[in-house]
Structures are given as structure tokens and as C-alpha cells.
Amino acid sequence: MIEVYIDGASAGNPGPSGAGIFIKGHGSADRYSLPLGIMSNHEAEFHAFIKALEICLENGYSVVSFRTDSELVNRAVEKEFAKNKNFAPLLEKALDLTKKFDLFFMKWIPSLENKMADELARLAIRKNKQEEN
């Protein structure tokens, strides 16, 4: 099974944002640090989730277990509902992607257990700022 750790971060709310994705399994580990542009922290969390799903599908992974420290994203996925209407289209896109896996799991974890994805998200924020210059 592939383990996928995700995190979204913003420097400001809204502000320059990034997605951190750490994927391990099959004896390897992949790290992604993706600038997302200007958005809120919660939007960045959803975008990190979507990007990670897309990467897993591109790599042909069929059984994935996601971990996030975002209670908002985890709860939205569990209930298949986003209270905030701005997040509904992002959740809908993510849920459509999850249906393409043979098995998809998501688990909330404390921030301390998500340090690699957090570091990658913060690096992506810096990449955002570099692209502005």
C-alpha cells in the first residue's frame, strides 16, 4: 500500500501558498513541493489533496492511504460534504478522483506526524515568492 502525506500552507490568509506531498511505498519515497499561487490556507489544503491524488493516479497506484493534519479536509472527505460553499467544487473534484482507486483511505494525523509534508509545503511557499521576483 502507498502512504501519502499531504499538507497545504499559506503565508498570509490569503497569501502565497504551497502544497507538500510525501509519498512512500514500494521501497521508495517521493517528495513534491508545489507552488499554488495566492489562496487561503484551507484552499491550499484541498489543492494539496487534489494534486496528490493526481500524482498517485499518474503513477498507476491503485491502493492508497492518505494522511493529513487538516481536520477540515479529513472531515469533508469522510462526510462527502463541505460546509463552506467555496470548498464544495474542490471537494467534488477530489471525491471524483478518489473513486478511481481500487482502495482509498484517509486518516487524520497530528501535525507532529506530518512534518515532511509540512516542510515541503513551506518550501513551495518560498518557491512562489521566488517566482514573483
The predicted-structure confidence for 14-70, as pLDDT tens digits, reads as follows: 999 999 999 999 888 999 999 999 999 999 999 999 999 999 999 999 999 999 999
3-state secondary structure of 94: helix
Cα-Cα end-to-end distance for the chain: 41
pLDDT band at 128 (very low <50, low <70, confident <90, very high): confident
Q: Which of 13, 11, 14, 92 is nearest to 53 (CA)?
A: 92
Q: Is residue 132 predicted with pLDDT exceeding 70?
A: no
Which residues, at least 6 apart from 77, have a Cβ–Cβ distance to it below 8 Å?
49, 91, 94, 95, 98, 106
* Better-predicted residue by pLDDT, 12 or 19: 19
**Phi and psi angles of residue 127, each rounded to the nearest 5 degrees, phi first:** -60, -40
Please tell me the predicted confidence (pLDDT) of residue 131: 65
Place domain 2-127 in its CATH homologous superfamily: Ribonuclease H-like superfamily/Ribonuclease H (3.30.420.10)
pTM over 0.75: yes
79-109 confidence digits (pLDDT tens): 999 999 999 999 999 999 999 999 999 999 9
